[in-house]
Amino acid sequence: MIGYGAFKVISSQFGPPTLDRLMQTYGDSSPMGLLWTFMGASETYTMFVGSAEMIAGVLLFPRKTSTLGALMSLGILSNVVALNFSYDVPVKLFSSHLLAMAIFLLLPEARRLANFFVLYRPVEYVRVEPLFRRPLWHRSALVFSSLFLIAVIGTSLYQSYDQRQFLTAQRSPLYGVWEVEEFNLGSTSTASFQRWRRLIFDAPTRVGVQTADVLERFGLQLDQEKRTLTLRKRDDPGWKTTLTYEQVSPEVVTLAGSLNGSEMTMRLRRSGERKFLLTDRGFHWINEFPFNR
């Protein structure tokens, strides 16, 4: 709970939507991609969810608050499991295990919880016995557990911060949306390959290629010294093509190479900076009227 929460408090699990994601239509998004975009579009909400997860995890450590922590974990993880199953996220089993652990921690308190929340009956007092009979040992155990909790929190936050810095520092040398001005492809594969309309560079290891119908993401290896772009398909590991590029000017790039067995040349022009309502709308405390677009 602390680990997952830390990666949301410092938004590294759900980063801001990338350029290629923002250029993609809703209908072409996978369910998991839509969920990641929904979470990443609002850093405020992501931090709120992460804070709740971290608080629940911290409350599980002291024995006096473990029941409250398990109750919070039960509510939070029920939503997480529902999202994972409903949006096709591949950690269904792990999140279900965490939910089962929260339920397991609540089983000894089931009668007391039922009396308090459902039956409106008096709840008996439970005495929390010291861990050790000797006061020195007991205090030492409390100090050790407190230091361990601080170490877990600090390590999780640092790992999240480090990953956030790594993700935000990554940017392709050709960052931006490039419109295809010229597209020449040999006739042998024209029927089976749609014309590229634009290329979208964001992260250095990925490029989005948009046609008239769909946006497809390719794995990318960009070599600035050799001036080459090596593209690989996600769903076809055997597919690979290497294109040479020349940056005629900061706004114009030409590509040449073999594509699906035919020679191809392209001329790209960088489009102006794009504004997206999803990321530019911002946070508002009060809305006088609905802003539903």
Q: If we measure between CA atoms, which residue out of 214, 217, 203, 154 comes closest to residue 175?
A: 203
For the chain, the domains span 2-169, 176-270
Q: Per-residue pLDDT for 149 more than 70?
A: yes
More confidently predicted of 188 and 100: 100
The tens digit of pLDDT for each residue in 47-58 reads: 999 999 999 999
CATH class of the 176-270 domain in this structure: mainly beta
Q: What is the mean pLDDT of residues 209-216?
A: 88
Q: If we measure between CA atoms, which residue out of 174, 190, 160 comes closest to residue 51?
A: 160
Cβ–Cβ under 8 Å, residues 211 and 25: no
Q: Are strands 198-201 and 240-249 parallel, antiparallel or unpaired?
A: unpaired
Res 69: pLDDT: 97
Q: If we measure between CA atoms, which residue out of 39, 51, 23 comes closest to residue 84?
A: 39
Q: Which of 27-31, 32-36, 164-168, 204-208 has the lowest mean pLDDT?
A: 164-168
Q: Per-residue pLDDT for 184 more than 60?
A: yes
Mean pLDDT score of the chain: 90
Q: Per-residue pLDDT for 191 more than 50?
A: no
Q: Per-residue pLDDT for 187 more than 80?
A: no
- The burial of 197, by beta-carbon neighbours within 10 Å (0-12 exposed, 13-18 middle, 19 or more buried), is given as middle
Q: Which of 81-95, 146-160, 263-277 has the lowest mean pLDDT?
A: 263-277
